[in-house]
Amino acid sequence: MRRVEVHRVEGGNSMQRWCQVRNPLRVCLNFAVIYVCRFLPSLGLKNLLYRAIGMRVGKGASVGLMAMFDIFFPELIELGDNCVIGYNATLLAHEYLVGEWRTGEVRVGKGVMIGANALVLPGVAIGDGATVGACSLVNRDVRPGTMVGGVPIREIEVE
C-alpha cells in the first residue's frame, strides 16, 4: 500500500497548475542540482548537494550515474545509510494526474540496493536490507530483507 496525500483539482489536468503548487524558482534550483548530480562521479559531493535541496541522505549512501530524483518535492525523499541507488533509477515523490495530484514520502532503508532503471513511486517504503531488481516498478512497500523485481514488483525467492 502506498501512503499518498491526494490534492483534488477542479477542471482538468493538475500538471497545468504546477506553478501554483511549487515556486518555479525553487523547482528550477532543484532541477539544476539534481541534473548536475546525475553526471557527478563524486559520491560525497552528490550527497552534499542532495542534502542542500532537502533530501535526507544517510551516511555512506551511493547514488549511481544518471539516477533521477523528484524535482518538485526532493524533501520527501529519504535515503538510508549504505544504500545503493543504481544507474538511471528514478525516485518520485509526486504524481500529477487528471483531476488531482498526489504526494508521498519515499523511504529507502539502510543497506537497500535498487537496481538500474528501477522506478519507485510516491508513498513507498523500502525496508532495511531489501533488494530491488533492475527495471522494476516499485508500486508498493517492500519488506525488510526481501528481494523484489518485475513490473509491478513481486517477491523473488532466493535459493
From 15-19, 57-61, 67-71, 119-123, the region with the lowest mean pLDDT? 15-19
Q: Where are the domains of the chain?
A: 5-155
Provide the percentage of residues in the chain whose pLDDT is more than 90.
Answer: 84
What pLDDT, on a 0 to 100 scale, did the predictor assign at position 117? 98
Question: Widest CA span of the chain, in angstroms?
Answer: 52
Indicate the average pLDDT of the chain. Answer: 95
State pLDDT tens for residues 45-103. Answer: 999 999 999 999 999 999 999 999 999 999 999 999 999 999 999 999 999 988 899 99
Class of domain 5-155: mainly beta
Residue 1 has pLDDT above 70, yes or no: no
